[in-house]
Structure 1
């Protein structure tokens, strides 16, 4: 068996584990070193460090301080990796921790994080998903059962000082354009809740004052939420600091393309079995700016889809120019309205799109003024037929436990 380099105790606060951190900064110390060709296991907390509980209340989703996330395992150094190299990471296997065979999905309150459809779902909501081998189902979302595609939502390497400064400069400039926006345009450094791993003294203070928040994806990878980065996938990361400083977390049992509910996959604690290697001078050899990857050869075997289209016209009827964000939002809203005809609440339908293996496609970006985005909903995940027919939809979902909702304080 390969060595477990980083272990997590789910009964212990993530802040008490010095092999965990929640900010990107070159002064976060590397906690373990491996050699090219080595394989090893890394355990992870769920992205909130255990703040969200397995119950029927969404108060924890409402009340979480989002400045604490994400809790990442690492950084791990690879001997011989230098700036300009490519760090090659093979995801050999991945799964939930055996003592925690459940996950959660949530919508954040508009006042605390928001999300893709926050104007339509402004209150905190939560559903719990039981993990049963390859499959998952939820007491909050009846009528669906599907195979998971387990993957790290967040994985990347440490930035160098120049890159970190660039991130902070451009994101602070964006915030300055509308500093009171709710939810905010971006999240600046915030020292009060920073976890700097093994950094001490002045280095710890510097990580707190300058460390980039882990919420967005950036040039180094980070929170990309690519559902096809599952077992058997391979990722090529640009290296910015000696050793690379590879960290990971935010494991998902399953997710739809876009992770549209923001707390938007089935979030879980788990483990990742990895192998690493180096391509010397790979960044310039291949012209790499952002990570590239080879997807997993294993995907849920769903072949029958109902496809929903959206265009660049918003809910108020306003025309936008080739706006893919609005087009995908419209595709999602169209799918939600459709699923409501079978008895789902809007929140249940929204959750399905966030957690099930739906596919999102940019189908057209050249036919002015409307971009076309499409959402592929697998029909086989439902316990009943959702295809249109002359008989009309039958309301299959009645009663039961709905997604929990907590009012804003």
Structure 2
């Protein structure tokens, strides 16, 4: 009942409206101002059923589009050297993806989003058609073995070769529905064995009896706050509203690995993948080293909000529509954040920070990796002596735990651009007071 009340808060409805049946709820929701997304009303159903070019109001030029279909997704794995692109686009092109959250779709939730979300009070017209199509398809997915993520792509960039770098700019991210899910599963998260505080899974737990997994999933509506930003809605035991600011980002952004072996979707790697860095949202840039011809960019694991660490296991998992501009930087291009002219690890950038990324199954080693990558950037690109750079990092740079729940743990450095404004001005031959 508390979940139903929270959903009603998000939609501006009374609990009696939803309890009375979907027809009345659907009629009311069509006119709810809180059920609006930027540029479109909820839900954002697929634009087409095949990759191609589309016309989107407010977006000029050629816009490429990739829906999530049985032909364009991998469930639980990332593209590798064997995967062919679903579409090829020129450097500098703009591409829109319709991505799906796996939450509400996987086996411990019944692999039936229509039934699962209906049980939370969501009317049928607010359930995504592509979510239903994929879960009803024959796409194999082993809950115990495979990763949970539905990964969409890959998209090839004309002329990309190993040693080059893809510059991926996150132009926009729009929620497709006004709800998401946060899950904690047995044996996973930052406190395995302590949470969830439910009995262990039954031996015969299956998609036919999802309740026997005894995992905990928290259905979480979103709404527009007075300040214009999105917020998630929860409640205390007595029903008092709890809200938190939401900032959408893509948990998975990456390029195809050079391997021909299956690449599990959970641990991130040199190819990017499931990095779960919440700073890489709208307005950010990700630099990804290319390992195969075309680069083959993909995305997935859409998040509406995530705290550093992602401690329960998942963030607020939430189907999103991201828009990217992808530019090919040939090896040696001065825009690549490296003196070698290429990259060995992904690298991030926002308006105010450079983001050096460290990855390792051991959190201590992930920290070392992030520090080493920070040192490389400060010495390679910004011309500091190593000892001075090390001292600077100690005095002035925050190291944040990206996530601790994806086997390979992540720590990233937030290096302030403001501190280097004279250095960058000198490099760009710009006068500064």
Q: How far has the Cα of 1:297 moved from its partner? A: 6.0
User: How many residues are treated as equivalent by the alignment?
Assistant: 244
In 2: Cα distance, 1:18 partner to 1:95 partner: 23
In 2: Cα distance, 1:360 partner to 1:56 partner: 38
In 2: Cα distance, 1:158 partner to 1:49 partner: 27
2:74/2:151 contact within 8 Å kept? yes
Partner residue in 1 for 2:219: 128
Deviation track 1:40-98 (CA, whole Å, cap 9, x = no partner) reads 211111135833533469xxxxx95562521111000000111100000000000211x
In 1: Cα distance, 2:244 partner to 2:157 partner: 37
Partner residue in 1 for 2:37: none
Match of 1:292 among 347, 350, 353: 347
Match of 2:182 among 95, 105, 118: 105
In 2: Cα distance, 1:284 partner to 1:360 partner: 23
| SS of residue paired to 1:94 | strand
CA distance 1:284–1:85, change in 2 (3 Å): farther
In 2: Cα distance, 1:50 partner to 1:30 partner: 25
Higher relative contact order (CA 8 A, sep 6+): 1
Partner residue in 2 for 1:244: 295
Partner residue in 1 for 2:136: none
1:225/1:258 contact within 8 Å kept? no
Partner residue in 1 for 2:73: 20
Partner residue in 2 for 1:5: 65
Deviation track 1:127-168 (CA, whole Å, cap 9, x = no partner) reads 11111133333345554212211000011000113xx6xxxx
Partner residue in 2 for 1:279: 329
CA distance 1:71–1:295, change in 2 (3 Å): same
Deviation track 1:207-246 (CA, whole Å, cap 9, x = no partner) reads xxx3111101111111010001111000100000111010
Deviation track 1:173-208 (CA, whole Å, cap 9, x = no partner) reads xxxxxxxxxxxxxxxxxxxxxxxxxxxxxxxxxxxx
In 1: Cα distance, 2:161 partner to 2:72 partner: 22
Whether 1:94 and 2:94 are equivalent positions in the alignment is: no
1:231/1:296 contact within 8 Å kept? no
Q: How does 1:227-238 map to 2 (within 5 A)?
A: 227-238=278-289
CA distance 1:323–1:223, change in 2 (3 Å): closer
In 2: Cα distance, 1:237 partner to 1:294 partner: 12
Consecutive unaligned residues in structure 2, runs of 5 or more: 1-55, 110-115, 122-141, 199-214, 333-337, 354-362, 367-397, 402-410, 412-433
RMSD: 3.2
Q: How does 1:292-311 map to 2 (within 5 A)?
A: 292-295=347-350
Whether 1:145 and 2:243 are equivalent positions in the alignment is: yes
